[in-house]
Amino acid sequence: MRAPDMDAGVTAGDVLLAVENVSLRFGGVKAITDVSFDIRKGEIRAIIGPNGAGKTSMLNVINGFYHPQDGRITFKGRTRSKMRPYVAASQGIARTFQNVALFKGMTTLDNIMAGRTLKMRRGFFWQMLRHGPAMAEEIEHRKVVEEIIDFLEIEAIRKVPVGRLPYGLQKRVELGRALAMEPELLLLDEPMAGMNLEEKEDMCRFILDVNSQFGTTIALIEHDMGVVMDLSDRVVVLEYGRKIADGVPDEVKSNQAVIDAYLGVPH
């Protein structure tokens, strides 16, 4: 697997993605109110907060599933009022989902190959023929996918329909599909939810390896505070759709507003 191409404009440490004053409402329900933060190239950025704080909504805004009413999103130096899923994917934003969204009837291999969709460009006609360039292309991408499968240590389940896999492995396949896109920014929505300790440790290792080996920038939502504080370079904290803290893990840990949000305050 190759590291994603470094854009001339964005090198390590620069701002890769910034959301500014984003607000998102569903009718009268305010999911996100006036939130701004940024993600720097090469870092692991955690988004935390109590249930219903708007964390997943924030990821949905970043990859274009939700369109905010106000605010701007700047990715790789281009500012937009909203993302579209296709634009986000083709610009290098990949993601996984809280409740695993895999193609259940398809095999592990096909699921991860689906992640290569945007990298494969041979037209309809060649594909029908299954010959010449389309075949060569298929083989070339299969190679990349096999490397990802090795990396995630899921060789044994290559041909198994993912609907039959245990939850922990499904999460791993989903990560593999996102990696197949060779993303610059990887959004992980609770990558460790519902896992046992061993599975969590594996997943932590994969996340760190992805970050260090491929230089992929990662934004993750996670409830396990131990994991968050260990993994992330910086943490942003949301509560009721507002940002209440932002900084390195130690700062955030000792922030009174964060402690109140998690433990509750006497009224």
Partner 1 sequence: MDILYNIFIDPFVQMGSAPDLFVQTLWEGLVSGVLYALIALGFVLIFKASGVFNFAQGIMVVFAALTLVGLYEAGVPAILALVLTIGVMFVLAVGVERIVLRPLVNQPDIILFMATFGLTYFLIGFGELVFGGNPKVMITDELYLPRGSVEFEMLGGFVSLQKIDITAAVIASIMVASLAVFFQKTRIGRALRAVADSHKAALSVGISLNQIWIIVWFTAGIVALATGIMWGARSEVSFALQIIALKALPVLILGGFTSVPGAIVGGLIIGVGEKLGEFYWGPLVGSGIESWLAYVIALGFLLFRPQGLFGEKIIERI
Judged by the rule CB under 8 A, the positions of this chain that interact with partner 1 are: 63, 65, 85-86, 89-90, 94-95, 97, 101-106, 110, 113-118, 120, 122, 124, 127-128, 130, 134, 138, 161, 163-164, 167, 177-178, 180-181
Shortest Cβ distance from residue 74 to partner 1 (Å)?
20
Question: How many residues comprise the chain?
Answer: 267
- Strand partners for 30: 25
Amino acid type, 105: G
For residue 24, which amino acid is it? Answer: L
Least CB distance to partner 1 at residue 142 (A): 11
CA 65/CA 161 separation, integer angstroms: 27
Smallest separation (angstroms) from partner 1 to the CB of 31: 17
Smallest gap from Cβ 55 to partner 1, in A, equals 17
Tokens of 129: 């023929």
Q: For partner 1, which is the closer residue by CB, 46 or 113? A: 113
Identify which of 229, 227, 261, 223 has the alpha carbon closest to the alpha carbon of residue 248: 229
In the bound complex, what is the minimum distance in angstroms from residue 6's beta carbon to partner 1? Answer: 21
Residue 176 or residue 258: which is nearer to partner 1 going by CB?
Answer: 176
CB 234 within 8 A of CB 204: no
Q: Which is nearer to partner 1, 51 or 124 (CB)?
A: 124
Sign of CA dihedral 196, 202, 206, 208: positive
Q: 3-state class of 71 per DSSP?
A: strand
Shortest reach from residue 237's CB to partner 1, in Å: 25
Nearer to partner 1, 110 or 199 (CB): 110
Euclidean distance between CA atoms 139 and 133, whole angstroms: 10
Nearest CB to partner 1, comparing residues 173 and 244: 173
User: Which amino acid is residue 133, in one-letter code?
Assistant: P
Which residue number, 125 or 266, has a Cβ lying nearer to partner 1? 125
For residues 201 and 168, the answer to whether their CB atoms sit within 8 Å is no
